[in-house]
């Protein structure tokens, strides 16, 4: 029992408010500290993440509150919550404001959110609305469509744009062989998606940068505030790598951010929502439990940008576009026919009717 408790303390990685300096030496009692300030090296091991993800929810909640406190105190309260109106950021906003009620929320109104999300966000006090400088149709016209994943879309853009037509980049993206001759499987485009190189439309990962990140960067530049973000490592490989490299409180990034829920799982979000009886956007439908007591929603599974096609090829039917036709037929007709998403989805062989 004593050994288990010591191991739990290590896994939980309790920090105090003063243990937040940017360049410190990693010790066995504090697994989230930087290694000589080098953010490129992992400061956490995968087993720590997996073990934290398996902890009882009460421990996760305690850990998250400690990270919120450390972040808030380090920046003397000059912080804000990146609030999308989704269930994850709804939990984050509530958790932060339970401790610090004056913390503002910031919402980027891209025009791509579900109408129910925008209405939901308007119900909260002290929320700043931002807008991107470029509308979606101009983004896809200039940069390309967001398809498959951010990583694949970026690799396709690198090859098909003029700046990416060097042989080293091309070889890496097509074969996974780097300039040093080493094989990097995550650096290549899977053969299945080589056809995107000859697609009759542009492909790019730039949509999120232009429509979401740029307004946030401008806001943070003007206010000097730093964000809490409701990202979780379990959502994607990129987010897992970000967590392993920086921990929850990423002080060393160019754009510092705190992700105090990074080691949570989707079921933990539902646990918090139900424990605190928090409302969620109407588009989610109702929160229910299946026979194995796992939570789910009767409406949409995710409330990201409605026109985004990242990951749609992995979804079971009805996928997000098929659901959109049923729940928001006018918006579906606009994106499928007027914007030209029909051609894109046909090309990647994703049903939408």
What's the pLDDT band for 26 if we cut at 50, 70, 90? very low
- Whether 220 is in a domain gets the answer no
The answer to the question of residue 51 being in a domain is no
Query: Which whole number is the average pLDDT over 89-113?
Result: 97
Within a domain: 324 = yes
- Tell me, yes or no, whether 95 lies in a domain: no
Q: How confident is the model at residue 39 (pLDDT cuts 50, 70, 90)?
A: very low
Q: What is the pLDDT at residue 238?
A: 87
Q: What percent of the chain has pLDDT over 70?
A: 88
At which of 173, 198, 223 does a domain end? 198
Domain span holding position 339: 287-347
Q: Check whether 3 has a pLDDT greater than 80.
A: no
Q: Tell me, what's the pLDDT at 112?
A: 94
Is 240 inside any structural domain? no
Cβ pair 260, 95 in contact under 8 A:
yes
How high is the pLDDT of residue 40? Answer: 55
> 248-270 as b/e, with b when 16 or more CB fall inside 10 Å?
bbbbbeeebbbbbbbbbbbebbb
Report the distance separating Cα 176 and Cα 166, nearest Å: 15
Higher-confidence residue of 12 and 253: namely 253
What CA–CA distance (Å, rounded) separates 29 from 304?
38
Average pLDDT, the chain: 89
340: left (phi over 0), alpha (psi -120 to 50) or beta: left
Q: What is the mean pLDDT of residues 62-89?
A: 98
Question: What does the block give as tokens for 183?
Answer: 């094989």
Q: Residue 9 pLDDT more than 80?
A: no
Alpha helices, DSSP H, located in the chain: 2-12, 46-53, 57-74, 87-99, 115-121, 136-142, 150-160, 167-175, 206-208, 214-223, 237-246, 266-276, 320-327, 329-333, 341-347
Give domain status of residue 89, yes or no: no
Count of structural domains, the chain: 2
Report the pLDDT value the prediction gives residue 15, as an integer from 0 to 100: 42
- How far apart CA 197 and CA 228 sit, in angstroms, is 37
Please, which residues have CB within 8 angstroms of residue 100's CB and are 6 or more apart in sequence?
68, 72, 77
Confidence check: pLDDT of 103 > 60: yes
Question: Starting from the edge strand earliest in sequence, which strands make up the sheet with 249-250, in order?
Answer: 127-130, 105-108, 79-82, 226-228, 257-258, 249-250
Choose one of 198, 233, 268: the last residue of a domain: 198
Residue 291 within a domain: yes
Does any domain span residue 133? no
Cα 311 off chain centre by: 13
Mean pLDDT of 162-189: 86
pLDDT digits (tens, 9 = 90+) for 195-241: 999 999 999 999 999 999 999 999 999 999 999 999 999 998 889 99
Asked whether residue 18 carries a pLDDT value surpassing 50, the answer given is: no
Average pLDDT over residues 49-57: 97
């Amino acid at each position: 029992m004593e050994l288990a408790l010591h191991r739990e303390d290590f896994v939980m990685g309790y920090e105090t408010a003063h243990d937040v300096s940017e360049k410190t030496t990693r010790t066995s009692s504090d697994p989230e500290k930087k290694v000589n300030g080098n953010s490129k090296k992992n400061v956490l091991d995968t087993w720590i993440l997996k073990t934290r993800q398996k902890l009882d929810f009460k421990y996760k909640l305690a850990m998250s509150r400690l990270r919120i406190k450390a972040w808030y105190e380090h920046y003397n309260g000059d912080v804000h919550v990146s609030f999308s109106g989704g269930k994850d950021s709804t939990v984050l906003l509530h958790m932060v404001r339970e401790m610090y009620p004056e913390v503002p929320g910031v919402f980027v109104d891209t025009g791509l959110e579900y109408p129910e999300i925008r209405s939901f966000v308007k119900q909260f006090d002290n929320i700043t609305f931002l807008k991107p400088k470029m509308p979606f149709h101009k983004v896809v016209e200039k940069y390309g469509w967001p398809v498959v994943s951010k990583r694949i879309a970026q690799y396709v853009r690198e090859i098909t744009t003029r700046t990416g037509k060097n042989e080293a980049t091309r070889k890496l993206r097509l074969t996974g062989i780097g300039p040093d001759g080493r094989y990097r499987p995550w650096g290549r485009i899977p053969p299945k998606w080589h056809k995107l190189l000859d697609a009759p439309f542009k492909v790019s990962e730039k949509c999120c940068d232009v429509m979401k990140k740029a307004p946030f960067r401008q806001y943070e530049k003007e206010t000097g505030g730093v964000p809490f973000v409701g990202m979780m490592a379990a959502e994607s490989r990129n987010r897992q790598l970000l967590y392993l490299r920086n921990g929850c409180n990423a002080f060393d990034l160019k754009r510092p951010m705190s992700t105090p829920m990074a080691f949570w799982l989707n079921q933990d979000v539902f646990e918090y929502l139900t424990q605190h009886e928090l409302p969620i956007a109407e588009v989610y439908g109702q929160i229910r439990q299946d026979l194995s007591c796992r939570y789910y929603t009767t409406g949409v599974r995710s409330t990201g940008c409605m026109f985004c096609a990242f990951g749609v090829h992995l979804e079971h039917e009805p996928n997000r576009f098929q659901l959109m036709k049923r729940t928001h037929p006018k918006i579906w007709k606009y994106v499928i026919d007027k914007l030209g998403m029909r051609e894109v989805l046909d090309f990647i062989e994703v049903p939408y009717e």
